Amino acid sequence: MDIAIIGIGLHPFGRHEGVSAMEMGVIAARRALDDAGLSWQDVDIACGGSLQVLQPDTMGKFMGLTGIPFTNLYNGCATGGNLLLSAANAILAGSGDVAIAIGMDKHPRGAFSVGDDLAGIGLGQWYGEVGLAVNPQFFGMKTQRYMHDHGISEDTLHRIAVKAFENGSRNPQAWRRRALSYEEIATSEMVCDPLRKYHFCSPSEGAAAMVVCRADRAARYTTKPIHIRADVFKTRLYGSFEVMHASIPADSRPSPSVQASRSAFEAAGIGPEEIDVAQVQDTEAGHEMMHMAECGFCKDGEQEALVRDGATGIGGRIPINTDGGLLANGEPIGASGLRQVYEVCLQLRGEAGQRQVPGDPSTGFTHVYGFPGVSCATVLSR
């Protein structure tokens, strides 16, 4: 893929009383355009994604009604990854010169609800009525089985959370900027065994946007383009263990995260061992642990030693979720994947301040994963 990111914008994640998701989307889009030295009139294609905003394209009246195709897109927690992919694909197809991807969301406090009509997600109503339609149950159960199979202790979960909030404390744009002690995390209340309160991210509010163009035209707009070397979207294969599945076969298959990451690394011609900074979906500490292996950064079971030795911290061999990840930023679903890309762009541009990965990183990776078994993996380079 020969597409470059030429502008990045973020409306910081957190709680923003009185500011709508769409207003945050407008702010992120304007920041991304400013970063590229462009205005909305220069945009040929827009892609918007959100859970809470029914139709992101309605924001056109705040940006300016210029007649461009503005596609709405939603793929659960993988929405952000797909927004970038769709914008890039539109440029690859020759539909225009400049495309923008905008993700925005604003969720109420508390666990995500699937609402009152489960037929809309292919499930019987009974599944929700008896209390099975709860994401954290799946996170707990997958983590539980993985720890059993690969000899990993709760120590790894605690350390992953310590690192997330430590990174968040170095990120002025993070929602949770207080570093938490190992003790606080390890003794926080149990949510879904073996996962505790501070192992989890919370739904939050925020927006992020990216402006892209053909790589060979990027120099017109910026001196620091970030190249999308590969961007792959996969849905679940029969046999992968996924959230909200009333049954799964005993004969298991690799997750969509494995499929997407492998394909992305292959297409990029860059291997996971060559990545300088990575973002993986850390809905909770258990999934950061599992995604380290699913995305190819280690073998199953190696996480215990890697995390203990600080390999995934800033300054480690493979820094992961350097901005504090979902744990320190929360998850506005539509925007989350683009926040990951925003962070990797900052790192590769050398603009990450207190949390800058040392050694002048030149390659990055982002990964989103979500219901009902979707994943996007992106390989980036300077």
Q: Give CA–CA dist 166/162, Å, rounded.
A: 6
**Residue from 65, 109, 189, 216 that binds other proteins (CB under 8 A)?**
189
- Which is it for strands 277-279 and 363-370: parallel, antiparallel or unpaired? parallel
If one asks whether residue 22 binds other proteins (CB under 8 A), the answer comes out as no
* Shortest spacing between CB 241 and other proteins, in angstroms: 8
* Shortest spacing between CB 349 and other proteins, in angstroms: 40
By C-beta, is 225 or 256 nearer to other proteins?
Answer: 256
Residues in contact with other proteins, shown as a per-residue x/- string from 229 to 268 under the rule CB under 8 A: ---------xx-----xxxxxxx-----------------
Map residue 112 onto helix, strand or coil: coil
* Shortest spacing between CB 207 and other proteins, in angstroms: 24
* Shortest spacing between CB 373 and other proteins, in angstroms: 11
If one asks whether residue 130 binds other proteins (CB under 8 A), the answer comes out as yes
215, 225 contact by CB (below 8 A): yes
User: Looking only at residues 195 through 224 of this chain, which bind other proteins when binding is defined by CB under 8 A?
Assistant: 195
If one asks whether residue 112 binds other proteins (CB under 8 A), the answer comes out as yes
- How many residues lie near other proteins (CB under 8 A)? 43
If one asks whether residue 114 binds other proteins (CB under 8 A), the answer comes out as yes
Q: What is the CA radius of gyration of the chain?
A: 19
User: 3-state SS of 275-341?
Assistant: CCEEECCCCEHHHHHHHHHHCCCCCCCCHHHHHHCCCCCCCCCCCECCCCHHHHHCECHHHHHHHHH
Q: Give CA–CA dist 31/223, Å, rounded.
A: 17
If one asks whether residue 131 binds other proteins (CB under 8 A), the answer comes out as yes
By C-beta, is 249 or 271 nearer to other proteins?
Answer: 249
By C-beta, is 17 or 251 nearer to other proteins?
Answer: 251
User: Looking only at residues 79 through 108 of this chain, which bind other proteins when binding is defined by CB under 8 A?
Assistant: none
Q: Give CA–CA dist 357/103, Å, rounded.
A: 26
Contacts of 114-123 with CB under 8 Å at 24 or more apart are: 114/244, 121/244, 121/371, 121/372, 122/372, 123/244, 123/246
* Shortest spacing between CB 224 and other proteins, in angstroms: 43
Q: For residue 14, how many other CB atoms are within 10 A of its CB?
A: 16
**Residue from 92, 134, 179, 267 that binds other proteins (CB under 8 A)?**
134
If one asks whether residue 144 binds other proteins (CB under 8 A), the answer comes out as yes
If one asks whether residue 126 binds other proteins (CB under 8 A), the answer comes out as yes
* Shortest spacing between CB 220 and other proteins, in angstroms: 47
Binding segment for other proteins (CB under 8 A), chosen from 116-124, 180-188, 208-216, 331-339, is 116-124
Run of H or E residues at 148: helix 135-150
* Shortest spacing between CB 353 and other proteins, in angstroms: 36
Run of H or E residues at 141: helix 135-150
Run of H or E residues at 161: helix 154-169
Contact set with other proteins (CB under 8 A): 110-116, 118, 124-134, 136-137, 140-142, 144-145, 148, 189-195, 238-239, 245-251
